[in-house]
Amino acid sequence: MNKNKKELYTCLEATGIYSFDLAQYLSQQKIKVMVVNPIITHAFFKMELNLLFEVKLLTRDFGKI
């Protein structure tokens, strides 16, 4: 990947037949598509929320020093 150029991906949750047609259409249009397990996206979202919460706690506690 060229560092000066960002690549764009479309990410869809694998929700049975509902995401299949859209993923196929996007792929035919030369748009990069990732179809992921909803458990993975849920875990990623949960991890991001925990990280955000920890950063808020650290910045709050750092101000008291």
Partner residues linked to 33 by β-bridges = 10
Tell me which amino acid residue 40 is. Answer: I
| pTM of the complete model | 0.51
> Residues with Cβ < 8 Å from 37, sequence gap 6 or more?
13, 14
pLDDT classification of 6: cutoffs 50, 70, 90: confident
Over the stretch 8-42, which tens digit does the pLDDT of each residue have?
Answer: 888 888 887 888 889 999 999 999 998 888 887 77
SS3 call for 9? strand
DSSP string, 22-46: HHHHHHHTT-EEEEE-HHHHHHHHH
Could you tell me which residue, 27 or 62, shows the higher pLDDT?
Answer: 27
